[in-house]
Amino acid sequence: MTDQTDLAQDTGDTPQIYLITPTEIDLATFPDRLAACLDTSPVACLRMALATRDEDRLGRAADALRAVTEVRDVALVVERHSGLVTRHGLDGVHLTDGSRGVAAARKALGEDAIVGTHAAQSRHDGMTAAELGADYVSFGPAGVTALDDGAQAPRDLFEWWSQMIEVPIVAEGALDDDLIRSLAPHVDFFGLGDEIWSHPDPAARLSELHALFA
């Protein structure tokens, strides 16, 4: 298990990579694709963000991904399913309900686990999550998208957070090259998922995007 303080500490002037899996993965091929990414670029954390609610499938995926991340000292968190953390030796949980589940997850998993959450576009929800002990807060989508209601986390939210709040911030969702360059001075992590997995060579695309962080 990776020390959760790796995600809670000051990340300096250059953001780090927070990688997000596709919602569906093939365990026969995805671990190798993931390994290529981790061996090409320095990734701080991987979020297992599978859409399935099948406990067996989630457990097998968690074990397969942990085998890749653990030897590379990359933190592995699971989206929503905090009950899998202890059973499968994961580093923590990523919540999707803003501040609402933070206190319960922290109580259940203890101080050493990573507890992060997505606050969508809500400054208030993000601040509350931070006060309740979240190790990081993600906002998004940062870019323009037609999904859901199309709401976008504005640039000034990231600027304000970086000036006022010490808890690390993640920008995720519909990121492109220009947006990464624009937000890099104001975020601690970029959450990258579809931005690389939709590319023919995810490892190469991740390396390209990482070069923009500086």
Q: What is the pLDDT of residue 148?
A: 80
140-199 per-position pLDDT tens digit = 999 998 878 879 999 999 999 999 999 999 999 999 999 999 999 999 999 999 999 999
Which tokens hold the place of 36? 């290529």
Instruction: Say if 204 falls within a structural domain.
Output: yes
95-109 per-position pLDDT tens digit = 999 999 999 999 999
Give me the mean pLDDT over the 24-47 stretch.
98
Q: What is the pLDDT of residue 7?
A: 65
φ, ψ of residue 2 to 5 degrees: the values are -80, 140
Q: What is the pLDDT of residue 8?
A: 53
Closest to 139 (Cα-Cα) out of 129, 70, 35, 176 = 129
pLDDT tops 90 at residue 48: yes
Q: What is the pLDDT of residue 13?
A: 82
pLDDT tops 50 at residue 10: no
* Dist. CA 94–CA 191, nearest whole Å: 12
Number of structural domains (the chain) is: 1
Q: What is the pLDDT of residue 6?
A: 54
Q: What is the pLDDT of residue 12?
A: 59
129-143 per-position pLDDT tens digit = 999 999 999 999 999
Question: Whole-prediction pTM value?
Answer: 0.95
Give me the mean pLDDT over the 105-125 stretch.
97
The percentage of the chain sitting over the pLDDT mark of 90, rounded to a whole number, equals 91
Give me the mean pLDDT over the 68-78 stretch.
98
Instruction: Say if 163 falls within a structural domain.
Output: yes
Q: Find the domain containing 46 and state its range.
A: 19-145+152-212
- Which pLDDT band, with edges at 50, 70 and 90, does 52 fall under? very high
Which tokens hold the place of 163? 């000036």
Contact 211, 193 (CB under 8 A): no
Q: What is the pLDDT of residue 5?
A: 43
H helix or E strand, kind and range, residue 171: strand 169-172
Instruction: Say if 12 falls within a structural domain.
Output: no
Weakest mean pLDDT among 11-20, 66-75, 91-100, 158-167: 11-20
Instruction: Say if 68 falls within a structural domain.
Output: yes
Instruction: Say if 9 falls within a structural domain.
Output: no
Torsion of CA 200, 43, 20, 154, to 10 degrees: -100
Instruction: Say if 10 falls within a structural domain.
Output: no
Closest to 50 (Cα-Cα) out of 34, 26, 86, 75 = 26
Q: What is the pLDDT of residue 1?
A: 44
Instruction: Say if 127 falls within a structural domain.
Output: yes
Which amino acid does the sequence have at 89? G
Instruction: Say if 4 falls within a structural domain.
Output: no
Average pLDDT, the chain: 94
Q: What is the pLDDT of residue 90?
A: 98
Q: What is the CATH number of the domain that holds 172?
A: 3.20.20.70
